[in-house]
Amino acid sequence: MTKKQLEMKHPYERFLRKERMPHIWCEGCGNGIILNCFARALDELDIDLNNVVVVSGIGCIGRISGYVNADSFHTTHGRPIAFATGAKLAKPELKVVVISGDGDLFAIGGNHFIHAARRNVDIKVICANNFVYGMTGGQYGPTTPLEAWTTTTPYGNIEQAFNLVHLAAASGAVYVARWTALHVRRLTESIKKALQKEGFSFVEVISQCPEIYGRHNKMKTAISMMKWFKEASEVRNFSDPAKADISPSRIIVGEFVDVEKPSYGRLLREMKAKLQTE
């Protein structure tokens, strides 16, 4: 690279806390793609960063809150959605976005996910689903596919995996989408939609973890994992999320739910306004 190229500013630099770089993520990790798509979505919507709050839990992607140049909170394991619920209700003008992993949001934090979706709290949840607990070195979690090898499934995984888009839809989310880290354009569009939508919106990103997951499951590099995404992905917008289980041969992606329903915050405001006039 020339000196001039090195000095060039990254177009999304303003979205990052540069002093936090380098990040902690491994080479080939999908988290950088998710951060990039999130920054692009904020940029394209021209959202005032002073009104954005990024909340994350524990895990590799949990560090994202420290990298985004907005108000941000790195909570305890499993609790970002409950924290975000409090922040959003206390200050409704904020755009509150939870970005966290599959283990954080659906194992230890699963209860908060379904209840926030049921209440239709106006928060946005982006889940980096890499099928594994990466930060602790590769244990199986609630999205690990059957038969996968992890450090705690040394004889192959015998637990069924959650189908996250089905869970989100059944719990009441008003917007549900799934993409892989390969679908950057469509992922960005879905994040944009989620950010503009009133109510509980959920975007699942199937994300490669070559270092901790892929290399133990016959996909040694990021490229080989993304090849899997490419070959197995099938775009089926507004298909039945109940039938969108992920298998080695098929990853159904697309938008699954996009409906209108008054958010918890709206109903709360209406209730309070009614009390004031009574």
Partner 1 sequence: METKNKAMLSGQHFMNGDVACAEGAIAVGCRFFAGYPITPATEIAERMARRLPQVSGVYIQMEDELASIAAVLGASNAGTKAMTATSGPGFSLMMENIGLAVMTETPCVIVDIMRGGPSTGQPTMPGQQDVMQARWGSHGDYEIIALTPSSVQEMFDLTIEAFNLSETYRVPTFLLADEIIGHMWERVNIPSAKSIKVVNRKKPVTPPSEYGPFKPDEDLVPPMACFGEGYRFHATGLTHDEYGRPKTDSAEVQQDLVQRLCEKIRRNSDKIVKVDRVLLEDAEVAVVAYGIASRAALSAVRKARAQGIKAGLLRLVTVWPFPDKQVEEVAQKVKALVVPEMNYGQIVREVRRVAKETPVIFLSKLGEEPHKPLEILDALGEFRK
Q: List contacts with partner 1 (CB under 8 A).
A: 17, 19-20, 49-51, 53, 55, 63, 65-66, 69-76, 78-79, 82-91, 93-94, 111-112, 115, 268, 271-272, 275-276
Q: Which helix (H) or strand (E) holds 73?
A: strand 71-74
User: Which residues share a beta bridge with 88?
Assistant: none
Q: Which is nearer to partner 1, 6 or 90 (CB)?
A: 90
DSSP output for 94-138? SEEEEEEEHHIIIIITHHHHHHHHHHT-S-EEEEEE-SEETTTT-
Q: Which is nearer to partner 1, 24 or 223 (CB)?
A: 24
Tell me how far, at minimum, the Cβ of 202 lies from partner 1, in Å.
Answer: 17
Q: How many residues does the chain have?
A: 278
Q: Which is nearer to partner 1, 145 or 262 (CB)?
A: 262
Tell me how far, at minimum, the Cβ of 67 lies from partner 1, in Å.
Answer: 9
User: Is the Cβ–Cβ distance between 102 and 129 less than 8 Å?
Assistant: yes
Q: Give the tokens for residue 239.
A: 């298909």
Phi, psi (degrees; rounded to nearest 5) at 88: -65, -45
Q: Give the tokens for residue 181.
A: 């880290």
Tell me how far, at minimum, the Cβ of 79 lies from partner 1, in Å.
Answer: 4
Q: Which is nearer to partner 1, 149 or 162 (CB)?
A: 162
Residue 13: which of 35, 28, 31 has the closest Cα?
35
Q: Which is nearer to partner 1, 111 or 247 (CB)?
A: 111
Tell me how far, at minimum, the Cβ of 26 lies from partner 1, in Å.
Answer: 17
Tell me how far, at minimum, the Cβ of 231 lies from partner 1, in Å.
Answer: 38
DSSP category for residue 81: H
